[in-house]
Structure 1
Amino acid sequence: MNAFAGTSSYYRRFRPGIPADLAALLAHETPAGSPRRLLDVGTGPGLVALALAPYFDDVIAVDSDPTMCAEADAVLRPALSAGHRLQIGHALAEDFEPPAGWQPHLVTCGRVFHWLDQRHFLNRLAEYVAPGSVLAVFSDRSLWTAASAWQQAVRAVVQEFLGEQRRAGDGIFGPDGPPYEEVLRASAFCDVTTAAIPVRREWSIDEVIGYLYSTSFAAPHLFGHRREAFEAAVADALTPFLDSGFLVEDNAFTVLTARRPSSRGR
């Protein structure tokens, strides 16, 4: 099941990228290399890779959805200089095989770790990463889990149209597994550090609707002929919360950076 079917163009236009402070943190944590290699897993339309491109020479961006791969190519290729090398891979993260001899210095999992077979992915990753390489797992709160009054009002509208349970495309969002830090500490990447990067955003009502259509829980096709009614209901719910024409969101990226301990062959 592709939980994000039909969302790729909305994801590209309406999902926020990562803040500059997060990109700088990940670049600082990554060992030097020439060329310096980035593997962006679950790249979507390439937003993470785009933010990190100034720090890396050789980028592979991987996604299981071919339409996301096409969006990533359209975003990344024009933005990279002639000195960059870019490859877009259509593959499951758990099945991805890098080119022979290619070892990433940084592997990024932005907003995607929940969707992976985590232990399988980590075991596979341990087979090909460079010595001393860094795995970064990070995400911000989605609109479904955010706690501000206007975000809760929007979630209530989604539930009115699609039901109380959180959707994942045509299915239901799976239960949370163990905490990510626990999963990482049980893997080869058991040297884990945590950080939080705050971010403040301003949204218009149209941007909120576009964001919703980028998610698995409010993908456009789920509303069928009721899309116009849904959009009108969202606008009605949000109008009382507008501040100078915008909705203010305070969010934060939770960031886990993980390495192998030095005793394991660094």
Structure 2
Amino acid sequence: MELVNAFAGTSSYYRRFGPGIPTDLAALLNQAAPTGSPRRLVDIGTGPGLVAHALLPYFDDLFAVDAELAMLAEAEAVLRPVLSSDHQLRTRHALAEDFLPPEGWRPHLVTCGRVFHWLDQPRFLDRLSEYVAPDGVVTVFSDRSLWTGGCSWQQAAREVVQDFLGEQRRAGDGFFSPVGPPYEEVLRASDFCDVTSTTVPVHRQWSVDHVIGYLYSTSFAAQHLFGDRQDAFEAALTDALAPFAEGGQLPEDNAFTVLTARRPSVRKER
């Protein structure tokens, strides 16, 4: 299952309903990366640019990379209006494993969220070793999705999705591939083998409409998968979530696992 096919048709929902990253995570990524002027960021699998948006206060020269043109269009719509005159943003339609910045352009930070699962990870990390700054940092991070979330309302929502789409987790028109080796193990086998793991908690409040929109932004519950049963799905989900709503809100306590990886013997001075 290709990444582009898995997320076909989800870009507008991702822009409107994707939760993005918390400010504490953005601050952690800023602290992990070396300084520079200009300070350079590559955001891999940028989607609608939510991670890049959170890091705009810290970086002024950015590449936003995605394999789907529709996602890049959403990123442009999110990021261009809020750029200052000090920012330079370039978007690139490319596979993460193929992307190369201009010769001599070396990022201080590379961010890679859940898209890491979909990549040829060793090949991607080999490509990064060609262009990341000598003291640059590669970060891989994700929180639990609704499919893997542990609270009662998330489990109820997942069961409704499974009632309509089947027990096996979907990935667009295909199915989610098995999870490979732990990401930390993959990073330690690369040039970026000095790895630190950090947990960043996050609390969210969801409405039922927000949950529906978020589900349509995912590969496992993309809107087109429901076909002519979309209205029935939304009604069933609304009914299933009603007992859990507190004043119309569905609380979630989640956490990001953040892996920061460097070449050996390269440590940022504290």
Report if TM-score (shorter chain) is over 0.5. yes
Amino acid at match of 1:129: V
Residue 188 of structure 2: aligned partner? 185
Separation in 2, partners of 1:61, 1:257: 19
Look up the equivalent residue of 1:185 and give its one-letter code.
Answer: R
Task: Name the counterpart of 1:252.
Answer: 255
Does residue 32 of structure 2 align to residue 29 of structure 1?
yes
Shift of 1:244: 1.1
Q: Which runs of 4+ in 1 moved over 3 A?
A: none
Q: Which residue in 2 is equivalent to 1:11? A: 14
State how 1:160-239 maps to structure 2 within 5 Å: 160-239=163-242
Query: CA RMSD, aligned part only?
Result: 0.7
Provide the C-alpha distance between the structure 2 equivalents of 1:110 and 1:74, rounded to a whole number of angstroms: 20
The AA in structure 1 aligned to 2:239 is D
Q: Partners in 1 of 2:187 and 2:108 — Cα distance?
A: 17
TM superposition shift of 1:100: 1.6
1-structure distance, mates of 2:18, 2:143: 11
Match of 1:156 in 2: 159
Q: Which residue number in structure 2 is paired with residue 129 of structure 1? A: 132
- The residue number in structure 2 matching 1:75 is 78
Query: Shift of the alpha carbon at 1:162?
Result: 0.3
Counterpart residue identity of residue 214, structure 1: S
The residue aligned with 2:58 is 55
Letter of the 2:105 partner, please give it: W
Match of 1:66 in 2: 69
Q: Write the distance in 2 (CA, Å) between the matches of 1:26 and 1:142.
A: 21
Structure 2, unmatched stretches of 5+, are none
CA distance in 1, matches of 2:260, 2:143: 15
State the one-letter code of the partner of 2:156. Answer: A
The alpha carbon displacement at 1:262 in A equals: 2.3
Q: Distance in 2 between matches of 1:167 and 1:125?
A: 30
Residue 71 of structure 2 corresponds to residue 41 of structure 1: no
Distance 1:201 1:70 in 2: 27
Identity of paired residues, percent? 73
* 2:107 matched residue in structure 1: 104
Cα offsets for 1:8-41 (capped at 9, x unmatched): 0000000101111100011011101110000000
- List runs of 5+ in structure 1 lacking aligned partners: none
Query: Could you tell me how far apart the structure 2 residues matched to 1:113 and 1:170 are?
Result: 20
Residue type of the partner of 1:146? G
Q: Deviations over 1:19-67 (max 9, x none)?
A: 1110001101110111000000000000000000110110000000000
1:113 aligns with 2:106: no
Which deviates further from its counterpart, 208-217 or 1-10?
1-10
Distance 2:150 2:206 in 1: 16
**How many angstroms does 1:99 deviate by?**
1.1
Corresponding pairs, count:
263
Distance (whole Å) between structure 2 residues aligned to residue 244 and residue 233 of structure 1:
19
CA–CA separation in structure 1 for the residues paired with 2:214 and 2:141: 19
TM-score (norm 1): 0.98
